[in-house]
Structure formats: C-alpha cells, structure tokens
Amino acid sequence: MLPPAAAPQDVVDAIAKIEALLDDVVNHGNDDELFIASYLQGHFAVEARQLEMVEGASLSMLNEKMTGSLQRAFDNNELDAQDAELVKALWRRLFEGANQVLTN
C-alpha cells in the first residue's frame, strides 16, 4: 500500500487528470500515439509519484520535473528527434489540459 500523498490536493488532482488523459491515449490512440504516450507514461509515473510526496509541491514543479526528466532522456539519445518532439508536444497538451481543468 502506498503512503498518502503529502502534496496539495490540486497537484494530486492534476496528476490524476494527466494519468487519465494518458490512459485514454494508450487505450484509444493509433500505434504512433500509443508509442509516444507509453514512453511519456514511464517518465510521468516516476516523477509524479515522487512529487506527490512533497508537501509544497506545485503544478509548476510537476512541469519542471517532467521537462527535465524528458530532456535528460533526449540528451542521452533515447528517442530520435522527431519522436522527442512528439513526446514534448503530448506533455504540453496534457499539462495544459489538466491545468485548465483545475483553474476553471
């Protein structure tokens, strides 16, 4: 059993929203979208879970952690440039979508 989240509820809600959006892409996307979403999901699972344990966590911290994690992976040539751009674009879309839902 996982310990309860220490992060503020809006961060926990954003993480849940992004997870749901990622799951939707994985469940309904084409092969390319599935690859991109699955790659992003691996990074997100690690970064989001760590952030949930931080009392002063924020949505901007989530974005910083994710973009940093992805950039380190891209710097290690884990993906070709085109796929890296698709992953970054999907992250921006998911983050903006979750952020809009929480601010409305």
Domain count, the chain: 1
Q: What is the pLDDT of residue 102?
A: 66
pTM over the 0.85 mark: yes
Q: What is the dihedral of CA 27, 69, 65, 98, to 10 degrees?
A: -20
Residue 1 lies in a domain: no
pLDDT digits (tens, 9 = 90+) for 16-64: 999 998 999 888 989 999 999 999 999 999 999 999 999 999 999 999 9
* Average pLDDT for the chain: 90
18: closest CA among 61, 50, 62?
62
Element (H, E) at 22: helix 9-28
Q: What is the mean pLDDT of residues 74-85?
A: 96
Predicted pLDDT at 100: 77
2 inside domain: no
Is 55 a member of any domain?
yes
User: What pLDDT score was predicted for residue 73?
Assistant: 96
Domain that holds residue 45: 9-103
Instruction: Examine residue 44 and state whether it is found in any structural domain, yes or no.
Output: yes
What are the CA-CA distances from residue 45 to residues 48, 83, 103, 104 (Å)? Answer: 5, 19, 23, 25
Is pLDDT of 2 > 80?
Answer: no
d(CA 36, CA 20): 15
